[in-house]
Amino acid sequence: MGIESILSNALNPPVLFFFLGMAAVLLKSDLEIPPPLPKLFSLYLLIVIGFKGGVELHHGGLSPEVVATFVASIIAAVIVPFVSFFMLRLKMDVYNSAAIAASYGSVSAVTFVTASAFLQQQAIPHSGYMVASLALMESPAIIAGVVMVRLFAKTDEKVSWSEILREAFLNGSVFLLVGSLLIGLVSSDVGEKSLEPFTKGIFYGALCFFLLDMGLVAARRIRDISKAGTFLVAFGILTPIVNATIAILIAHFVIGMPEGNSLLFAVLCASASYIAVPAAMRMSIPEANPSIYVSMALAITFPFNIIVGIPLYLNIIRLLGV
Quote the pLDDT of residue 112. Answer: 92
pLDDT at 160: 67
**Calpha distance 292→266 (Å, rounded):** 24
Q: What is the DSSP letter of 160?
A: -
Helix, strand, coil: what percent of the chain each, to 5?
Answer: 80, 0, 20
Which CATH code of 3.40.710.10, 1.20.1050.10, 3.40.50.170, 1.20.1530.20 fits the domain covering 3-22+34-320?
A: 1.20.1530.20
Domain assignments of the chain as residue spans, ordered by start: 3-22+34-320
SS3 191: helix
**In the prediction, which pLDDT does 243 show?**
95
pLDDT recorded at residue 51:
85
Separation between Cα atoms, residue 309 and residue 188, nearest integer Å: 33
Q: What is the mean pLDDT of each run of 10 residues along the chain (322 residues)?
A: 61 84 90 84 83 80 86 91 93 91 90 90 86 83 84 69 69 77 83 78 83 85 73 93 94 90 95 81 81 86 92 91 62
On whether the CB atoms of residues 191 and 55 are closer than 8 A, the answer is yes
The C-alpha atoms of residue 134 and residue 30 are separated, in whole angstroms, by 35
Residue 155, SS3? Answer: coil
pLDDT tens-place string over residues 114-130 = 899 889 888 899 888 88
CA distance 258 to 256: 7
User: What pLDDT shows up at residue 29?
Assistant: 92
